[in-house]
Amino acid sequence: MKAMSAREAKHHFGQLLDDARAAPVLVEKHGRPVVVVLAVEEYERLTGKLARRGQTPSRHRSSDSDIARLKNDKPVGPLSIELAK
């Protein structure tokens, strides 16, 4: 798996997107793995769910329970309130 620093990801975001469409890319901060960026098709294949396009992701850190809810296709964070209305 290709890896890049958060700084590289920030300064070469277009390249990150291009690379992630071909294969997952690990992004590290201070030498520690932080996130993996992958193509929507790969996400859908792994989760068995369609991605919800057009939603703005929340800006909080994802906890294990957030990830579990995401796998169950339930909104996470601030979107939960908007979508529940």
pLDDT at 23: 95
**Same domain assignment for residues 37 and 67:** no
Whole domain around residue 73: which residue ranges? 55-85
pLDDT at 67: 63
pLDDT at 50: 80
pLDDT at 29: 96
Strand 32-37's sheet: what is its strand order? 2-5, 25-29, 32-37
Question: What tokens does 36 get?
Answer: 């993996």
**Same domain assignment for residues 12 and 45:** yes
pLDDT at 70: 58
DSSP letters along 19-60, please?
HHHHS-EEEEETTEEEEEE--HHHHHHHHSS---TTPPPPSS
**Same domain assignment for residues 13 and 39:** yes
pLDDT at 49: 83
Give the total number of structural domains in the chain. 2
pLDDT at 65: 64
Q: Which residues of the chain have pLDDT under 70?
A: 53-85
Element (H, E) at 29: strand 25-29
